[in-house]
């Protein structure tokens, strides 16, 4: 396998323009002859499906939810970055590019990140034109706020529901095309396999989640926009249906999986309350703009927060990182919280949380202003914990939130399988080893609105695509595989529920492959996961039938894939003998506990190639070069 990034040569500012010019165009009359399958309807998927349909391609769109509007992009709270420089505080495309590369701890492709920063402004224009109700100043101009890891105010937002508003904007564009008949929307469909004919992606196998019918769909290109794999940890801020299945199936058909160990642990989530917990809830990072993070100075201090005097509190982020204070990047904030709880200074019943205090903000800007800025987040917290954050500090703890790793893609967002594109969180993307706040929405929409609509044309004109039908033997085989797998899941008739297996896997992942990783723990995970997997196939119980609406079966299939994927994630983490961004190897840290990269050995993307059942995956590397950003130890102190 060869990893050809296809990054254009020459000055980075001109790369994308040059590349776009070099991409061949599809004759407008020919566009309708091409069929594009788009899997997933989040920001990337909806944006891509709508934009491709506007261009004239025949588009079919698939999602697991009952409506395209429910994809998990909807839950993003804080905002979306763009280099508009409206506040006149010195922002620029170059600075956004620089911050993103640095924030990602120098593990992303420069040219991709530059392009992302370049199109960021068009995204805001596009969303405003769609009627996305961004926050406004009294004069009517768009409002900005600062967001974790940035010293400029470049984040656009719609209260704490920015993801919702951007997704509904993309969804409205998608539904406009559905209404016009240019997109055929298939809801409650789960992609269970990729069909590859002569080495080229030509279709997908999906299961109709209502009837259980397995369907074949052909296309000239397949776009996977299926999100991240955070649920491999069982508990994460991801929605229940988020899974790795689509990208994992593609991996098993030959797409390389890059940097799976780059997972982001978000510092501000509602802490776990017990075993029953089905998911964790994020409290937007924007809260750190006005909230102050602290723990008691004394270990095991069980006093109520309001009873702990100022002198006996440790505002540890402000202490350790005076320049950035509470706004340090997510990975740093998360690890700092872990250090505090490991040190026995955590708060709450479990001792696994830290305070995020708004008392100062309420005194400074007033209760009403705090309510206007964070009202819905405070309400959400109140609902979950029954504690009123206006009266007492919030309790927060890190949780798995975003996955930077994903299918390897070239500059065109095409995977190692020609014709298979991967967009948004599902690809290994532009965030390197750590994503900055408010950059996920930017990337999803950039990929969907402003990258793939161009690059797909280049692929379709430059490739000979013979007509295929779904009767082709590759379709028959792939469908057969899906049907057999379903039968195997239903036929095991064991004693343990898929959710119980998922919980077991999650515990192994969180304990050994979570915030702090070391060789011993990773090796333990690598030996434990196959054991759980073996037990799964012997002892899982899946009730009901295949040809029916069967949520247990859906869950079982996803857990089965997580049980394979988790092992690869742990392996990737074991091989990457350095600490960078969200990947923290305890063996590799500075004396004061900061991440220590090893640029000599690991300044590359690791992409894993599937070599067949029972065979070890092969690790390929794509070297990363930094010609425009000065490589340095990240320093937020």
Partner 1 sequence: MNITLKVWRQKNAAAPGALVEYTVSGVVPEMSFLEMLDTLNEQLIAKGEDPLAFDSDCREGICGMCNLMIDGQAHGPDKEATTCQLHMRRYKDGDVVTVEPFRAKGFPLVKDLVVDRSAFDRIQAAGGFVSTHTGGAGEANAILIPHDMAEKAMDAASCIGCGACVAACPNASAMLFVAAKVSQYALLPQGQPEREKRVLAMREAMDKEGFGHCTNEYECEAACPKGIKLSNIARLNREFLRATLLTE
Contacts with partner 1, 176-215, as mask; x by CB under 8 A: x-xx-----x-x----------------------x-----
Q: Return the structure tokens found at 571.
A: 């392996």
Pairing of strands 604-609, 618-623: antiparallel
Residue 539 interacting with partner 1 (CB under 8 A): no
CA distance 344 to 338: 10
Using CB under 8 A as the binding rule, the residues of this chain from 456 to 485 that contact partner 1 are none
Q: What's the burial of 184, exposed, middle or buried (CB within 10 Å: 0-12/13-18/19+)?
A: middle
Residue 383 interacting with partner 1 (CB under 8 A): yes
Closest CB to partner 1 among residues 81, 512: 81
* 78 SS3 class: coil
Find the catalytic residue in 330, 335, 345, 395: 330
CA distance 403 to 232: 10
Please report how close the Cβ of residue 344 comes to partner 1 at its closest, in angstroms.
Answer: 24
5, 92, 151, 172: residue in contact with partner 1 (rule CB under 8 A): 172
Residue 128 interacting with partner 1 (CB under 8 A): yes
Please report how close the Cβ of residue 240 comes to partner 1 at its closest, in angstroms.
Answer: 5
Contacts with partner 1, 298-337, as mask; x by CB under 8 A: ----------------------------------------
The DSSP secondary-structure symbol of 588 reads S
Residue 450 interacting with partner 1 (CB under 8 A): yes
Contacts with partner 1, 541-580, as mask; x by CB under 8 A: x-xx---xx-xx----------------------------
36, 83, 152, 158: residue in contact with partner 1 (rule CB under 8 A): 158
Residue 622's alpha-carbon distances to 306, 408, 487, 578, in angstroms, are 52, 10, 39, 17
Please report how close the Cβ of residue 51 comes to partner 1 at its closest, in angstroms.
Answer: 4
Residue 274 interacting with partner 1 (CB under 8 A): yes
Residue 21 interacting with partner 1 (CB under 8 A): no
4, 25, 89, 133: residue in contact with partner 1 (rule CB under 8 A): 133
Residue 303's alpha-carbon distances to 273, 317, 345, 419, 537, in angstroms, are 19, 21, 12, 60, 48
Which segment (24-32, 130-138, 190-198, 615-623) binds partner 1 by CB under 8 A? 130-138
**Bridge partners, 608 (sequence order):** 257, 619
The site for partner 1, by CB under 8 A, has a size of: 83
Handedness of CA 129, 135, 137, 143 (dihedral sign): negative
Residue 135 interacting with partner 1 (CB under 8 A): yes
Residue 214's alpha-carbon distances to 150, 166, 403, in angstroms, are 47, 32, 29
Residue 427 interacting with partner 1 (CB under 8 A): no
Residue 628 interacting with partner 1 (CB under 8 A): no
Contacts with partner 1, 61-80, as mask; x by CB under 8 A: ----xxxxxxxx-xx-----
578 and 588 in contact (C-beta within 8 Å)? Answer: yes
* 424 SS3 class: helix
Residue with tokens 């034109």: 129
Residue with tokens 């309420």: 362
Which segment (59-67, 97-105, 288-296, 525-533) binds partner 1 by CB under 8 A? 59-67
173 and 47 in contact (C-beta within 8 Å)? Answer: yes
Interhelix angle 110-130/162-180, rounded to 10 degrees, is 70
Residue 626 interacting with partner 1 (CB under 8 A): no
Residue 54 interacting with partner 1 (CB under 8 A): yes
Please count the other Cβ atoms lying within 10 Å of the Cβ belonging to residue 557.
21
Residue 594 interacting with partner 1 (CB under 8 A): no
φ/ψ of 586, rounded to 5, equals -60, -25
330 catalytic residue (yes or no): yes
Please report how close the Cβ of residue 569 comes to partner 1 at its closest, in angstroms.
Answer: 23
28, 140, 591, 614: residue in contact with partner 1 (rule CB under 8 A): 140
**Bridge partners, 294 (sequence order):** 355
Residues with active-site annotation: 330
């Amino acid at each position: 396998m060869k990893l050809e990034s296809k990054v254009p040569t020459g000055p980075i500012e001109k790369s994308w323009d040059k590349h776009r010019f070099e991409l061949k165009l599809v004759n407008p009359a020919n566009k309708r002859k091409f069929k594009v399958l788009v899997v997933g309807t989040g920001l990337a998927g909806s944006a891509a499906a709508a934009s491709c349909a506007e261009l004239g391609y025949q588009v079919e769109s698939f999602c697991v939810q009952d409506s395209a509007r429910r994809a998990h992009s909807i839950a993003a709270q804080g905002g979306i970055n763009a280099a508009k420089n409206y506040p006149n505080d010195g922002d620029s495309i170059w600075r956004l590019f620089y911050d993103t590369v640095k924030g990602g701890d120098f593990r992303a492709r420069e040219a991709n990140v530059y392009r992302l920063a370049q199109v960021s402004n068009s995204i805001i224009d596009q969303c405003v034109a769609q009627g996305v109700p961004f926050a406004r100043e009294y004069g009517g101009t768009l409002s900005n706020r600062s967001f974790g890891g940035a010293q400029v105010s470049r984040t656009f937002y719609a209260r704490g529901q920015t993801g919702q508003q951007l997704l509904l904007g993309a969804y409205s564009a998608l539904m406009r095309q559905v209404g016009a008949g240019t997109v055929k929307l298939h809801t409650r469909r789960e992609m269970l396999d990729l069909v590859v004919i002569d080495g080229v992606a030509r279709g997908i196998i999906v299961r109709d989640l209502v009837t259980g019918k397995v369907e074949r769909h052909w296309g000239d290109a397949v776009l996977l926009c299926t999100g991240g794999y955070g649920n491999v940890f069982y508990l994460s801020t991801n929605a229940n249906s988020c899974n790795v299945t689509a990208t994992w199936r593609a991996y098993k058909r030959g797409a390389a999986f890059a940097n799976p160990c780059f997972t982001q642990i978000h510092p501000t989530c509602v802490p776990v309350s017990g075993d029953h917990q089905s998911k964790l809830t994020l409290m937007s990072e924007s809260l750190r703009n006005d909230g102050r993070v602290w723990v008691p100075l004394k270990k095991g201090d069980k006093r109520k927060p309001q009873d702990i005097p100022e002198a006996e509190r440790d505002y540890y982020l402000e202490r350790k990182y005076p320049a950035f204070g509470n706004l340090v990047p997510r990975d740093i904030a998360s690890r700092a919280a872990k250090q505090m709880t490991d040190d026995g200074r955590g708060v709450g019943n479990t001792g696994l949380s830290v305070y995020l205090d708004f008392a100062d903000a309420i005194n400074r800007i007033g209760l009403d202003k705090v309510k206007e800025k964070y009202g819905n987040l405070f309400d959400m917290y109140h609902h979950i914990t029954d504690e009123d954050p206006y009266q007492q500090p919030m309790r927060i703890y890190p949780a798995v939130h975003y996955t930077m790793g994903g299918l390897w893609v070239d500059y065109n967002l095409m995977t190692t399988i020609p014709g298979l594109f991967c967009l948004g969180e599902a690809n290994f993307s532009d965030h390197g080893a750590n994503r900055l706040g408010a950059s996920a929405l930017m990337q999803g929409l950039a990929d969907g609105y402003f990258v793939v609509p161009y690059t797909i044309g280049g692929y379709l004109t430059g490739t000979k695509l013979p007509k295929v039908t779904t009767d082709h033997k590759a379709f028959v085989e792939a469908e057969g595989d899906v049907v057999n797998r379903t039968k195997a899941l239903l036929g095991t008739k064991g004693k343990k529920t898929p959710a119980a297996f998922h919980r077991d896997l999650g515990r192994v992942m969180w304990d050994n492959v979570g915030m702090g990783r070391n060789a011993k723990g990773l090796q333990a995970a690598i030996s434990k996961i196959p054991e759980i997997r073996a037990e799964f196939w012997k002892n899982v119980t899946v009730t009901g039938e295949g040809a029916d609406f069967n949520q247990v079966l859906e869950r079982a299939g996803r857990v089965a894939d997580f049980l394979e994927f988790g092992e690869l994630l742990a392996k990737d983490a074991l091989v990457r003998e350095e600490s960078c961004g969200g990947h923290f190897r305890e063996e590799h840290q500075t004396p004061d506990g900061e991440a220590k990269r090893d640029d000599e050995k690991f300044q590359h993307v690791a992409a894993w190639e599937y070599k067949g059942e029972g065979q070890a995956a092969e690790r390929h590397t794509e070297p990363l070069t930094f010609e425009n950003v000065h490589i340095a130890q990240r320093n937020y102190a």
